[in-house]
Amino acid sequence: MNIILLGAPGSGKGTQAKQLQAELGLTHISSGALFRENLNHKTELGLLAQAYMHRGEFVPDEITLAIVRERLQRPDVDKGVIFDGFPRSLAQAEALTEMMADLGRRIDGVLYIEVSDEALVDRLAGRLICRECQAPFHRIYQPFQTCPYHKCAGEYLHQRDDDQPETVRARLETFHAQTAPLIDTYRQAQLLIAVPGEGSVDEVKRATLEAAQDLNH
């Protein structure tokens, strides 16, 4: 099964992807996490992406598609994939359909996590992520308890540069202009399931898992 998690920045895609990975054994592919890993390792690609990420803008498709294409070459993709943060535009969605077809695969469904802009701004202001394993937490709603990878004790938690209020506004504008049209596209293709994303973490987890299991039947 190959799923896309669609949602604005801060809608909880990363948190939900981690649970779908654990529950369904799917491989989590986050384009943002791939960029941040590259940046941590100061690769050429990471340094190229850095300025765009810092401004809350899209990294150009040429770079983004290259990083996703490379990720799809690894063998763990055979288990099925959860895409998180990709595709973010109609052009990327078309490119993904082609990349999947080249692998003899297709997208089975798109889970759209719905959250209002007010709630997104509030969540992003308190979001913390682990610099090492990229696991997302929140100062109030999801404080660090244990590392999902059993690697650390929360010492690498920090606020992402692009979670500063100025950048958050730019990222939300970009979401509405470029990514939101995908909601209709996938709805028309009868691939979209909307998941209410404003309940407690557990409620949203339950709803996301149920939606993913529906896709599997």
CA nearest to 72, candidates 29, 17, 13: 29
* Contact window for ligand AMP (CB under 6 A) among 86-94, 98-106, 115-123, 203-211: 86-94
CA nearest to 84, candidates 7, 178, 162, 148: 7
| 13 assigned to active site | yes
Catalytic residue selected from 36, 71, 123, 171? 171
Q: Residue 92 corresponds to which amino acid?
A: Q
Using Cβ positions, the residue closest to ligand AMP within the complex turns out to be: 32
Q: Is residue 5 near ligand AMP by the rule CB under 6 A?
A: no
Of positions 35, 112, 175, 186, contacts ligand AMP by CB under 6 A: 35
The contacts of residue 72 (CB under 8 Å, 6+ apart) are 29, 81, 99, 103
Binders of ligand AMP among 165-204, rule CB under 6 A? 171
The packing angle between helices 90-102 and 61-71, to 10°, is 30
Catalytic residue selected from 18, 36, 71, 88? 88
Of positions 1, 45, 53, 81, contacts ligand AMP by CB under 6 A: 53
Show the binding pattern over residues 124-153: x = contacts ligand AMP (CB under 6 A), - = does not: ------------------------------
The values of phi and psi at residue 193, to 5°, are -120, 125
| DSSP three-state, residue 103 | coil
Of positions 2, 162, 168, 207, contacts ligand AMP by CB under 6 A: 162
The values of phi and psi at residue 156, to 5°, are -100, 10
Token pair of 134, please? Answer: 């990229």
Residue numbers of the site for ligand AMP (CB under 6 A)? 9, 31-32, 35, 52-53, 56-59, 64, 85-86, 88, 92, 162, 171
